[in-house]
Amino acid sequence: MGRLEGVNPISLSKGANVSLSVPAVRAVLSWSDAPGAPDADASALLLTAGGRVRDDADLVFHNQPHHASGAVRHLGKQRRDGAVTDTVEVDTARLETGIERVLLCASADGGTFGRLAELRLSLLDAATGAELVRFDMAATDETAFVGGELYLCGGQWKFRAVGQGYASGMAGPATDHGITVDEEPEPSAQDAPAAPAVPAAPRSPRAPRSARGEEDLPVDMRKRLSLRKEQVAVSLRKHGAEGVRARVILVLDASGSMTVVYGQGTIADVVERMAAVAAQLDDDGEMQAWTFATHPARLPDLRIGELPEWIRRHVRVGEMSLFGRPKKRKRGLEPEQVDMRLVGIMNEEQRVIAEVRAHVRENPAPDPTLVLFFSDGGVYRNQEIERELREAVEEPIFWQFVGLGRANYGVLERFDTLPDRRVDNVGFFAVDDIDQVPDPELYDRLLSEFPSWVRAARQAGILRP
């Protein structure tokens, strides 16, 4: 085909290609905003000539919206005139040496691409907004889609209309383009039937567990726990909540952008520090825990005396990354471990919030529930999250969110200013480097709003006096 001059948009058929005459383009995925239609999320993979990403940073999507080179950016969704768009911008002039292809992908949420009417990928001139090319796509039961690709050919950047779908989610295009995704473990005879969401860690049948306490911890960990419990008690006294009891639930972000945070040992340290909160607030010192990304997954309960083993089993770095180098699984999953690959890589906070709410409803307790929720940002399901937390106002749950140094916490950091709630059931603060925050300061910030919520919830009749 001829060069693309940007006067009138060129309609491409599947497999056709065209040369680009502008260095920076916006790839706009669009579909009809119909009731009950699934959502879709645009993304981009930066590939070498061999068709491989160099590392996880070469994936750009809503939770990792900027490539380090500045060449690729995820610009986000818009709804206008009955259509939904999700946009990725690519500046080919800024792509690093060695990157010769940019794959323009998308994943469906809550259905298949076949349920999206008027599915289209358009290229716009990033400087003027003029539509340069459009590709109308047909889909059926795909849950991931490669709409097109930008590729370098003879020193010239071109665009090809691909239109290839996958029924296996983003793992499909990942493996198809030279990205190694670990093989699924062989199912055992006791495995439950496959489900669309990640199953909770198995709880029955289960091996008997001893009632191990703090005295069973290694000496250094036992000393840290004892000191931290005292510091939690001091923070509670500061806020007029001495002697308050609570069920403590821990929620850990496991989305793709958290890989580095896990690898640095930060999350393992967070778990140990939060165990002191549970040990001080909960009579049995036990803490329920969830992890989440695209899907939520309940982890086995954390018992204080089993803290080292719990961290080793359930805060696992090796399976956090979808696009990592090949790793040989040593012995498969241990009993009660969650296969982190099935959790996914995207941010879907509203799903784990809903699951925790359901757990509290189905397992009532005499004490209020304190949820300690850790995330590195990338929040984009703002309406869904706000709806869940507003509905939770009448429930005996306080949600304490902690941001781990990134940005875009969305509605979580704005919740204190939202009107029309009988009580303020949400707290939020962010820290640049939680490893550098001393325990007294961390516990003060963590417990600053919970006591006032307890008092307000009792006055409102949400909690028993």
Given pLDDT bands bounded at 50, 70 and 90, which one contains residue 79? very high
Domain annotation covers residue 206: no
User: Phi, psi (5° rounding) for residue 268?
Assistant: -60, -40
Domain annotation covers residue 429: yes
Domain C-terminal end among 118, 146, 176: 176
Assigned token pair, 338: 């969650």
Which pLDDT belongs to residue 464? 86
Residues 125 and 227 occupy one common structural domain: no
Q: What is the pLDDT of residues 141-152, one digit of tens each?
A: 888 899 999 999
Do 143 and 169 touch, CB atoms closer than 8 A? yes
Residues 276 and 419 occupy one common structural domain: yes
Domain C-terminal end among 176, 204, 237: 176
Domain that holds residue 295: 214-327+335-459
Does residue 85 register a pLDDT over 70? yes
Domain C-terminal end among 130, 156, 176: 176
The residue with greater pLDDT, 417 or 223, is 223
Residues 164 and 18 occupy one common structural domain: yes
Which pLDDT belongs to residue 184? 42
Domain annotation covers residue 183: no
Which pLDDT belongs to residue 109? 81
Domain annotation covers residue 238: yes
Distance of alpha carbon 405 from alpha carbon 430, whole angstroms: 6
Domain annotation covers residue 139: yes
Count of domains for the chain: 2
Does residue 235 register a pLDDT over 70? yes
The amino acid at residue 205 is P
Residues 268 and 398 occupy one common structural domain: yes
Q: pLDDT averaged over the chain? A: 85
Residues 230 and 300 occupy one common structural domain: yes
Does residue 176 register a pLDDT over 70? no
Which pLDDT belongs to residue 78? 93
Question: Any idea which of 16-20, 137-141, 206-210 has the lowest mean pLDDT?
Answer: 206-210
Domain annotation covers residue 207: no
Q: What is the pLDDT of residues 47-73, one digit of tens each?
A: 998 888 887 778 888 878 899 899 999
Residues 226 and 292 occupy one common structural domain: yes
Residues 152 and 270 occupy one common structural domain: no
Report the CATH number at residue 359.
3.40.50.410
Residues 146 and 254 occupy one common structural domain: no
SS (H, E, C) 72-84: EEEEEEEEECCEE
Domain annotation covers residue 443: yes
Distance of alpha carbon 428 from alpha carbon 409, whole angstroms: 9
Residues 43, 45, 47, CA angle at the centre, nearest 5°? 165
Domain annotation covers residue 69: yes
Assigned token pair, 138: 């047909």
Residues 283 and 414 occupy one common structural domain: yes
The residue with greater pLDDT, 191 or 136, is 136
Distance of alpha carbon 149 from alpha carbon 27, whole angstroms: 10
Residues 294 and 430 occupy one common structural domain: yes
Residues 239 and 294 occupy one common structural domain: yes
Does residue 180 register a pLDDT over 90? no
Does residue 172 register a pLDDT over 60? yes
Taking CA atoms, 361 is separated from 283, 286, 392, 428, in Å, by 20, 18, 11, 23
Distance of alpha carbon 105 from alpha carbon 192, whole angstroms: 32
Q: What mean pLDDT is predicted for residues 104-125? A: 92
Report the CATH number at residue 138.
2.60.60.30
Residues 158 and 222 occupy one common structural domain: no
